[in-house]
Every structure is written in C-alpha cells, then in structure tokens.
Amino acid sequence: MSNNHSKIRQTIHQLEWLIQTDLGHRGIHHVPGNNLCTFCQGNLYRAVEFLAENPGIEIAVATGFFIPMANPPAPENDGPPGALFMARGLNQLGYSVQLITDVNCILPLKQGLQLFANEIDLIEFPLGDESANQFILHFFRDRQNLKCLISIECVGPCHTESTFLNQTQQPSKKELERFKLSGPRELSGECLNMRGISVSKYAAPIYLLFNKKNHRKSIFTIGIGDGGNEIGMGVIPWQIIADNILSGLGGRIACSVPADATIVAGVSNWAGYALIAGLYLYLNRADELAELLSESTESELMAIYFRTNSAVDGKLGNPAMSVDGIDWQFHLHIMKLMKDMIRLN
C-alpha cells in the first residue's frame, strides 16, 4: 500500500470517528471496547472501497422513518438529507442512482430533488406485505445491473427468538432467558421506534430488499443508523445493542436485518455525508467536495422541511431547525470539519 493510500485510509477512519460523536447520548459507544461503534469500526472505509472499485454501477438508496406521534405526523429529518446528498454525490461521479421510500416519507425527497434538480429516479415502495412481495419480484427482475443497496435511517424489524438463535448460535440458558425478558416479547418481528413502540403499519417493509434470500448475492448492502433499530444493525450481536443503548430499550428495538457494511453514527445524516466525502477523497476528487457539501444548500433544504412541516426532528417530535434534538449549527460544524479533514489530507 502506497503512503498516499495509507493516508487516505487513515483520513477515512478519522471521518468515521468524527461521525460517531454521540451528542444525542444514544449510547452507541457506551460500553468501552464492546459497543456498536467498535463492532462496526472500519466499515466506512469498506463501503467507500467497494464503491470506488466499482465505478458507474447501479445503486439504490433507501430512507424514511415515519413518526406517527409527531406534531404533525411526518417522517423525521434524519435520513432524507443524507440520502439526497449520497444520491447527488454518486450521480455526479457517474453512478446510476435511484432513491426508494414509501408514501409516508416521500415528500421530503420530492422537495430535495426539486431543489437540487438532479435526474435521479424516486421509487415508492408499497405499504403491506403482499404488495411488497410483488414489488420486490419486479424490482430485482427489472434491475439486473443493480450492484449496491444503501439504507440510511430506515427502520427494520426487531428480533424474534428465531433470529436471536440464528445470530447468537448456541446461546447459554442465561443468555436466552435474558433475551426473553429484555427482548421485544409480544412485539417480536415488528418495526419499533426508539421508545419501543411498533410503527410497522406506517412503514413499508423496505428491509425485505436487504434480505439475502430476496436478491442476488452479488449485491453489496450498506446500512446506516444511529440507534440500533435500523436496517443493517442486525449484524451487531443483540447483546451489544442491549448493553449499550442508554434508554434501556436496546434489547427490545434491536433490528435483526444485517448489511455487508453497517456504518454507525451519532446522527445518520453524518454517515451519508462522510461516505461521499470518503469516496471523493479515495477517487482523488476531493477538490469537488467543497461545492457539493455546501452548508448553505443543506441549510436551505432543512429550512424547507421546517417551513412546510414536511419532516420533523425525531427526538423533539415537531418541525425544527435541529436533527435528533441537536441544533442545526452543530450539524453545519460537522460538515465543515469533514471538509477540513479532506482538504488537509
């Protein structure tokens, strides 16, 4: 490995450490040395490397986490900005990109595509299992060149006893008893929010796209999340999520759907920004990042969500110039730090 490539790899690892700042106190690295971040460490680079080594491939980016209890009921504003940024960044590099969400979460993506004027397809995934199965059949049949699926802040089903046993492999009696006590119990297999409440009837089963049984093994999957209940988190042992999430509900909400590269972040949007920043650095196109990752453009998108009530702060439960309870100015600071790290590489 050349000195320059070693430096690029180190910078991408530093980007990963930056986005794992847990300002929202979720608990993603609560237990030193044995947490969501340490288990997935290096996956940002792994995802960047896959994309860089497969130029021009077809990619689908899924997002959308609807909050029915919000005022007004709306998708959260963590996920859509990161998905839109990834789609724009990948499109600019020559990848064929499409966005996927459901009817409850489609407006923020439509607004973003109008703002950025990119020729990116927006696909609506249907609600309901029966419609979903038909959709998946046609989706993969019609996309023979699809090579990568990315999920960012997209809810997935929690564990059942079967998925727990599958993942843990010969758990001790004590471990199984703990799962039965601290796991989802009567909500097994449901999609749960951070409060442990089922949102399954509001969320299309987009996670079915990421099930290896439903697609070609050659498709590389990337899962991005910040709380343990998102698509991709199924790669992390249930016990680790149960031990770390500070709400005490980690064992209840832990998603059972894995990904080939799961990226854990303090805020999911940050991982979307970092993935593209790392890719541009890897491809020696870092000078283009300053214009792409524009604080003013991202602020305009967030202001549209705020003015139109089309997306809400997931922690506050209402429209706000904040994400996950964190003031928007801090998100702008994260973007600036990313660009400085890339520029100084």
Q: How far apart are CA 280 and CA 289, in angstroms?
A: 7
Q: Which residues does 265 contact at the CB level (< 8 Å), separation at least 6? A: 19, 20, 28, 224, 225, 226, 271, 274
pLDDT < 50 stretches in the chain: none
Q: Cβ distance 20 to 27 under 8 Å?
A: no
Tell me what the pLDDT averaged over the chain comes to.
96
Q: How far apart are CA 239 and CA 178, in angstroms?
A: 9
Sheet holding 146-154, edge to edge: 121-125, 96-102, 58-64, 146-154, 220-225, 261-264
Q: What confidence score (pLDDT) does residue 345 get?
A: 73
Q: What confidence score (pLDDT) does residue 95 get?
A: 97
Q: What is the pTM of this model?
A: 0.97
Q: What confidence score (pLDDT) does residue 328 get?
A: 98
Which residues, in sequence order, are bridge partners of residue 263? 224
Q: How far apart are CA 189 and CA 160, in angstroms?
A: 5
Give the domains, in start order, of the chain with CATH numbers.
3-344 (3.90.1640.20)
Q: Cβ distance 85 to 280 under 8 Å?
A: no
Q: What confidence score (pLDDT) does residue 1 get?
A: 58
Q: What confidence score (pLDDT) does residue 340 get?
A: 95
Q: Cβ distance 72 to 99 under 8 Å?
A: no
Q: Cβ distance 82 to 224 under 8 Å?
A: yes
